[in-house]
Amino acid sequence: MAPQVAAFTDTYLPTVNGVTYTIQSWRDRWQQLGRRMDVVFPKTRGYEATATEHPIRSVPFPLYDGYRLGVPRIPSGVTDVDVVHAHTPFAVGLAALRLKRRANVPLVASYHTPSGEYAPYLAPSRHLTGSLRSITEAYERWFYDRADLVLTPSVTTRQHVLDVIGVSTPVRAVSNGVDVDFFRPVDASGFRRRYDLGLEGDRTLVGYTGRHGYEKELPDLLAAVDGLEDELEGTGETTETVTVVFGGDGPARADLEEQARTIDADVRFLGFLDREELPAFYSALDVFAFPSPVETQGLVALEANACGTPVVGVDRGALSETVVDDVTGYHYREGDVADFRRSIVAALDEQRRLEAGCLERRSEVDIATVIEQLREIYEGL
């Protein structure tokens, strides 16, 4: 029988990001196997916890809007645990380490976020940013070296953990997975009408959804689509209008909206989208554009691919691995806006062929495959 697991995380519902969705999906699928996966997370207003979810006392994180710091304690309801799984090395993750020692059970630790990349949010100068990044990496090394196994969502991130963080614990790459039953090509006409995006075929839609953070390099996307219509006309494309669609929100949104007013492109900011809308969002797009160089996997790229939408992503970090050139999309050189634009044009030109390539690879990222891998890992430990 599958082991009973306790997962500890610093970010969970109702916060919207790849980590929260991954944990929720893993928990739901794990419990379908007939075993329990408790989730311990910082208490947040607006979310009603279920019997296997344990919100703990938390305080606002003053330097990063929307996040809370949980008190590193073990809830009384978390009992009879076979494996502890930490999805963070900080705050609540320390409670996972305490439970490992108290119950004398294995600790699996997932590396979801390169924390050093967020140092600019916390440090006022470049010198302090570098110092904070070094301190963060030293702390991560201390924490992950106390786990029995570290999981990363990509091979690229595995090498980062080994080479940059310097972890000596065994590290294994296991995809976060995508629910391909949910993320699939759907009729997006209702979504287009709801957000006034026109009918299919009368305009080109290039889009992104996710956190609007400065580390995501989203200004490069706006720069790349500036004048894109003229370039498409030069290639013989018959599209009349190019619309750039942003789903999500974050601290960089105001600056992005200001930049959008200065470029030659129709740009729409839709704000947060309900999860139920995401398959239609991806299906409505002709190309998903992803300039973020800090991804450990780039889950939204896999979601877009599962809906048959090609991705143009920066050739750095995990996106170098997640996007398969000339199969599920194209890469471009980091910081090269002209190359970004050329890759978008190429993806639009090869859209139908790339769509077929995306759909053929759906089974490779199926979350059902990931859960089976997790079961084998937990049982092996």
pLDDT score of 212: 94
Same domain, 350 and 376: no
User: 53 - beta bridge partners?
Assistant: 39
Residues 6+ apart with CB under 8 A from 51: none
Decide if 358 is inside a domain: yes
The per-residue pLDDT for 64 is 64
Q: Could you give the CA distance from residue 156 to residue 178 in angstroms, rounded to a whole number?
A: 19
Q: Are strands 68-70 and 58-60 parallel, antiparallel or unpaired?
A: antiparallel
**Same domain, residue pair 355 and 373:** no
d(CA 313, CA 310) in angstroms, rounded, equals 10
Residues 118 and 225 grouped into a single domain = no
Range of the domain at 66: 5-177+366-380
- HEC string for the chain: CCCCEEEECCCCCCCCCHHHHHHHHHHHHHHHCCCCEEEEEECCCCCCCCCCEEEECEEECCCCCCCEEECCCCCCCCCCCCEEEECCCCCHHHHHHHHHHHHCCCEEEECCCCHHHHHHHHCCCHHHHHHHHHHHHHHHHHHHCCCCEEEECCHHHHHHHHHHHCCCCCEEECCCCECCCCCCCCCCHHHHHHCCCCCCCCCEEEEEECCCCHHHCHHHHHHHHCCHHHHHHHCCCCCCCEEEEEECCCCCHHHHHHHHCCCCCEEEEEECCCHHHHHHHHHHCCEEEECCCCCCCCHHHHHHHHCCCCEEEECCCCHHHHCCECCCEEEECCCCHHHHHHHHHHHHHCHHHHHHHHHHCHHHHEHHHHHHHHHHHHHHC
Domain shared by 197 and 139, yes or no: no
Same domain? For 11 and 136 the reply is: yes
Which pLDDT does position 348 carry in this prediction? 95
Contact 34, 112 (CB under 8 A): no
pLDDT for 16 equals 75
| 301 φ/ψ angles, rounded to the nearest 5 degrees | -65, -40
Q: 367 near 178, Cβ under 8 Å? A: yes
Residue among 129, 102, 19, 6 at smallest CA distance from 56: 6
Are 137 and 233 part of one and the same domain? Answer: no
Sign of CA dihedral 275, 280, 283, 285: negative
Q: Do 286 and 259 reside in the same domain of the chain?
A: yes
- The verdict on 227 and 202 lying in the same domain is yes
Does the residue 182 lie in any domain?
no
- The answer to whether position 278 is within a domain reads yes
Q: Looking at the structure, do residues 171 and 235 belong to the same domain, yes or no? A: no
Check if the beta carbon of residue 244 is closer than 8 Å to that of residue 266. Answer: yes
Low-confidence residues of the chain: pLDDT under 70: 62-66, 116-130, 201, 234-240
205 shares its domain with 72? no
On whether residue 183 sits in a domain, the answer given is: no
For residue 159, the model assigns a pLDDT of 96
Side by side, which strands form the sheet with 287-290?
Answer: 266-271, 242-247, 204-209, 287-290, 311-314, 329-332
Interatomic CA distance for residues 381 and 377, integer angstroms: 6
Q: What is the tally of structural domains in the chain?
A: 2
What pLDDT is stored for residue 134 in this prediction? Answer: 87
Residue 184 located in a structural domain: no
Whole-model pTM: value is 0.90
Q: For the beta carbon of residue 282, count every other beta carbon within 10 angstroms.
A: 27
- CATH code, domain with 211: 3.40.50.2000
- Cα–Cα distance, 143 to 123 (Å, whole number): 22
Q: State residue 120's pLDDT score.
A: 59
- State whether 57 and 100 are in the same domain: yes
Cα 180–chain centre separation: 16
The answer to whether residues 171 and 213 belong to one domain is no
- Whether residue 127 lies inside any domain: the answer is yes
The answer as to whether 9 is a domain residue is yes
The pLDDT assigned to 132 comes to 80
